[in-house]
A and B are shown apart, each in its own frame.
Chain A
Amino acid sequence: NFMLTQPHSVSESPEKTVTISCTRNSGSIANNYVQWYQQRPGSAPTIVIYEGTQRPSGVPDRFSGSIDTSSNSASLTISGLKTEDEADYYCQSYDNNIVVFGGGTKLTV
């Protein structure tokens, strides 16, 4: 099975832009969709990006997703950072009927 690797933590100031990466170690990142979940302290995860680039209704357009096949990675970009964006973020994908989560990234705003 494959793994998804994320940076342990990132930090940025309010109103700035931050990008969180998610690198797949085997198989192409483009073979299967990547999702991103936000988990605030003490709360269940919620989805913020699905199918690589799609935003569920209710998620601000400050959140965007992308795929880079050259680095075999997916990215979550949050622009106009707000203090409420401070949370853990997890990427997730799948292959051969196996679901894999990345290790998570703690975002400090």
Chain B
Amino acid sequence: EVQLVQSGAEVRKPGESLEISCKASGYRFTDYWIGWVRQMPGKGLEWMGSISPRDSNTRYSTRYSPSFQGQVTISVDKSVTTAYLQWSSLKASDTAMYYCARLQGGLMTQFAYWGQGTVVTVSS
């Protein structure tokens, strides 16, 4: 059974750094891209970016939405089949629910499986 289990809720102050995680199981980790999706309170889904665990160290392994390029970093650790979403300096506007989702193949496929979400609250 494919499972994506995300880390717990986080509360941070503006300017602080943060990394949230998405532990994958039930399939070969390197065979499928993983993406991150933001949902701000009361708003819709926004694609942030996706990564190929197979090619995670190559130039073309990660794709970012233009809206999030340079704002976050997506990475994976194949040894623990986990994907990460990282901020170096949080803003209040980063307050949202964040979902990881496994694609059904490459980047241009559907988000077939979703994590339960991680709530991030940024407040002074």
Contact = CB atoms under 8 A, between A and B. Distances in A.
B59 to A, nearest CB: 13
A101 B112 contact: no
Interface string A44-84: 11110011000010000000000000000000000000000
A35 to B, nearest CB: 4
Q: Determine the interface band of chain B, counting residues with CB < 8 A from chain A.
A: 20 to 34
Contact of A97 (B101, B108, B115): B108
Interface stretch (B23-31, B39-47, B83-91): B39-47
Interface string B85-124: 0000000000000010100100110111011110000000
A102 B45 CA distance: 8
Contacts, number: 60
Interface in B6-65: 35, 37, 44-47, 50, 63, 65
Contacts of B101: 45
A99 B65 contact: yes
* Chain B facing A: main interface SS: strand
A1 B64 CA distance: 13
B45 to A, nearest CB: 4
B66 interface: yes
A24 B108 CA distance: 17
20 contacts: A1-B66, A35-B111, A44-B99, A45-B99, A45-B101, A47-B110, A50-B104, A50-B110, A88-B44, A92-B45, A94-B108, A97-B107, A99-B50, A100-B47, A101-B45, A101-B46, A101-B47, A103-B44, A104-B44, A104-B45
